[in-house]
Amino acid sequence: MKKTVDVSLPIGPVHPCFKEPARIKCSTAGEHVLSAEIELGYVKKGIERIMRGRPWQEVMFLAERICGICSVIHNMVFIESVERISDIKVPKRAAYLRVIVNELDRIQSHLLANYSYCYTIEHETLAMYLLNLRETAMDQIELITGARVTCAYIIPGGVRFDLSKESEKSLLGALEKIEKDLIRYNRMFESGPLISLRSRDVGILSKEDVKESHAVGPTARASGINIDQRTNHPTYQDLGFKPIVRDSCDNYGRIMIRFDEVFQSIELIRKCLEKMPDGLIRGGGEVGAGETTWIGEAPRGELTYRVRTDEYGRIIDIAIQTPSIMNIEACGHYMLKGVDSAADVTATFISSDPCIACNER
């Protein structure tokens, strides 16, 4: 009789098929994963500690350096919490511009997440297609804000630059291109040989597991949980935002929900451009003393900032809760459990779009 050997299989932090500085420790029986544990803490930045005692001008730049992929939302949530503290009003045009840049950021982040998934399951053609398409979104971010990643676009009371007529035209063109190409890529993923077959029924995260593990964002929405912090945001309420939910609970669902959300973001940007009034982009107002908690929806899920400032607008205390840490919990304790082959471990991990930079803030 063949004997099944139990082994502990470590993946990472330096591993050929897994590029992030985290370690997944799997206990396996043959190829079957019995349980998994994720070990973090290799590149801790301690950014909250650095932020304390600094004026908001510095913290604003530190905040968007927490994550190199979803920097706009960090900028937005931090500035919105400071605005809530000091009761600063934002002109309508600036509020819509914020949403436009934020949604562009979501498009590029989702495309990057799906790129890395396709890359992990070794479908490099589709991966490169998606990565190329992401550049279109990045170019638009650069055109509007002047920088690709650390754009520092949002400031208390408004935004830094207006959207010119020419930029608006190029933005609409880019959206059309993204939409047209993505329909094709979406079909490739759905119907291409073996691509989605490798993801269906792999890494199951049931609705109950989400409730236990408090997973957030697309990871939770792919398991039938209807939570999206954008529904609480005044500008998104204006736009009539409705979250997208799927219920297949597997890797396939998580990838597809990101594709769906990119289409949704394109629609949101178009609506913004339609509704955006002319006028001021900066209102003004001094940052004062107070304390607040404000939640925004990052591409990966809900992002919470708890900020306390003094009368000069300096940050006395700040606590940031990023979405990735919840999703990593869900991934380690629920999704990876019962995965059939070691090759699916990294794919499942990547499907929850883990961001080590967010975790190790």
Partner 1 sequence: MFSIFCYLREFLRPEWWKKFLFVKTAPLVTPPHYRDFPVLTGNECSHELRCMMICPAPGAIEVLKNAEGKWEPVIYKGHCIRCGLCVEACPDNVLTSGDILSVNEKEKTYFLASYHLNVDDSICMRCGNCSVACPVNKEVDPQLAYTATSSSNEVIMRIKNSKLTIIHPEKCTGCKTCEEACPNHAITVARVLEGFQDED
List residues near partner 1 by CB under 8 A: 55, 57-58, 60-61, 139, 142-147, 150, 152, 155-158, 160-162, 164, 167, 170, 184, 187-188, 191-194, 280-287, 310, 312-314
Provide the minimum distance between the beta carbon of 353 and partner 1 in the complex, in angstroms, as a whole number: 26
Provide the minimum distance between the beta carbon of 63 and partner 1 in the complex, in angstroms, as a whole number: 11
Looking at residue 291, its amino acid is E
Classify residue 335 by its DSSP letter. I
Between 41 and 61, name the residue whose CB sits nearer to partner 1: 61
For the chain, give the number of residues: 361
Calpha distance 90→237 (Å, rounded): 16
Calpha distance 310→52 (Å, rounded): 11
**How large is the greatest C-alpha to C-alpha distance in the chain, in angstroms?**
79
Between 145 and 223, name the residue whose CB sits nearer to partner 1: 145
What does the block give as tokens for 356? Answer: 């080590």
Provide the minimum distance between the beta carbon of 73 and partner 1 in the complex, in angstroms, as a whole number: 18
The answer on whether 355 is annotated among ligand-binding residues is: yes
Between 43 and 316, name the residue whose CB sits nearer to partner 1: 316
- For every residue of 235-288, DSSP letters joined together read HHHHTT---------SHHHHHHHHHHHHHHHHHHHHHHHHHPPPS-SB------
Instruction: Give the three-class secondary structure for 57.
Output: helix
- For every residue of 281-325, DSSP letters joined together read SB------SEEEEEEEEETTEEEEEEEEE-TTSBEEEEEEE-HHH
The answer on whether 272 is annotated among ligand-binding residues is: no
The answer on whether 39 is annotated among ligand-binding residues is: no
Between 93 and 337, name the residue whose CB sits nearer to partner 1: 93
What does the block give as tokens for 220? Answer: 């939770």
Between 37 and 58, name the residue whose CB sits nearer to partner 1: 58
The answer on whether 70 is annotated among ligand-binding residues is: yes
What does the block give as tokens for 61? Answer: 């730049």
Provide the minimum distance between the beta carbon of 60 and partner 1 in the complex, in angstroms, as a whole number: 7
Provide the minimum distance between the beta carbon of 72 and partner 1 in the complex, in angstroms, as a whole number: 15
Indicate the annotated binding residues for Fe cation. 70, 358
Instruction: Please give the annotated binding residues for Mg(2+), written as ranges.
Output: 48, 320
Binding residue ranges: 48, 67, 70, 320, 355, 358
